[in-house]
Structure 1
Amino acid sequence: MKIAEIMSVDVALASPEQSLKQAADIMLSKDVGSLPVGSNGKLVGMLTDRDIVIRGVAQGLGADARVSEAMNGQVRYCYQDQDVDEVARNMAELQLRRMPVVNREKDLVGIVSLADFAHSGQNASAEDLMKGVAVPHH
């Protein structure tokens, strides 16, 4: 099974120029905790609610600071034609609960999350991913 078969295609996107407040408003309205950040049709970062707090507020940035100031520019992504098992292993290794999905031209086409794997019927992949991301922190 390929990632394209289980990914979500309704992806909210933030721009590096948007304010942290605008990005947080998108997260609130979509009920999500992270947003891919895109510029000129390409993926340039990821912004999580935790980034807003840790890289933003804790560093003294206000709600009007730009997304680019708090986002993580090290983007991990997968391709829509990759095998589900391969992506699950990669996400587990990286301890990621969600990952942007791109086509071979690296255009954002979706996002895949732990929930997508859990509902995919690919039980072994979902279990491997869950074990990788559900690591207790002491």
Structure 2
Amino acid sequence: MNVSQCMTSIVETIRPDQTLADAARAMEAGDYGILPVAENDRLVGMISDRDIAIRGIGCGHGPETKVSEVMSSDVLYCLSDADVDDVMANMGETQVRRMPVIDERKHMVGIVSLSDFAPSSASRTGKSLSEITRPSSKHSQSI
């Protein structure tokens, strides 16, 4: 099965020139923990509630700080025609729970989370979750 068959295709994004307050309001309204950052329909980063709290507020940035100042620019993504098992393995190895989905033109077409895979491959999803949650220094919030 391809990622396009189980991804969420309606994805709210935020622009890099918007503020942390804008991002927090969007996350609260949609009950999201992460937002893709897009510019001209191209994925340029990701911002999480943790980014806002730790790299934003925790480092003295106020609510009017631009998203671009605290977002993660190293974005892991997958292609819409990628095989689900390959993407799950990649998510486990890189310890991420959600991944933006792009097409061959590098336009964002969706987002996939580990829970999207559960109905079709419970055992592989469990293995990926186990890999994601193991202790690692990969995702340290140090600046």
Short-chain TM bin: over 0.9
How is 1:1-138 mapped onto 2 (pairs within 5 angstroms)? 1-119=1-119, 121-136=120-135
- Separation in 2 of the partners of 1:110 and 1:48? 17
Amino acid in the other structure paired with 1:134: T
Moved over 4 A (4+): none
List alignment gaps of at least 5 residues for structure 2: 137-143
- Separation in 2 of the partners of 1:124 and 1:19? 40
List alignment gaps of at least 5 residues for structure 1: none
- Separation in 2 of the partners of 1:61 and 1:14? 18
Q: Which range is displaced more, 10-19 or 125-134?
A: 125-134
**Shift of residue 134 of structure 1?**
2.2
- Separation in 2 of the partners of 1:108 and 1:52? 22
Contact 1:33 1:48 in 2 (8 A): yes
Q: 2:37 is paired with a residue of what secondary structure?
A: strand
- Separation in 2 of the partners of 1:118 and 1:32? 19
Q: Could you state the TM-score of these two structures normalised by the residue count of structure 2? A: 0.91
**Shift of residue 123 of structure 1?**
2.2
Q: For residues 34-65 of structure 1, give each alpha carbon's deviation from its aligned partner in whole angstroms, at most 9, with x where no partner exists.
A: 00000011100000000001110111100000
> Aligned residue pairs: how many?
136
Amino acid in the other structure paired with 1:126: T
Contact 1:84 1:125 in 2 (8 A): no
Amino acid in the other structure paired with 1:36: P
- Separation in 2 of the partners of 1:92 and 1:76? 12
Q: Aligned-residue CA RMSD in angstroms?
A: 1.1
Q: Identity of paired residues, percent? A: 44
Q: For residues 102-128 of structure 1, give each alpha carbon's deviation from its aligned partner in whole angstroms, at most 9, with x where no partner exists.
A: 001110000000111123x12233122
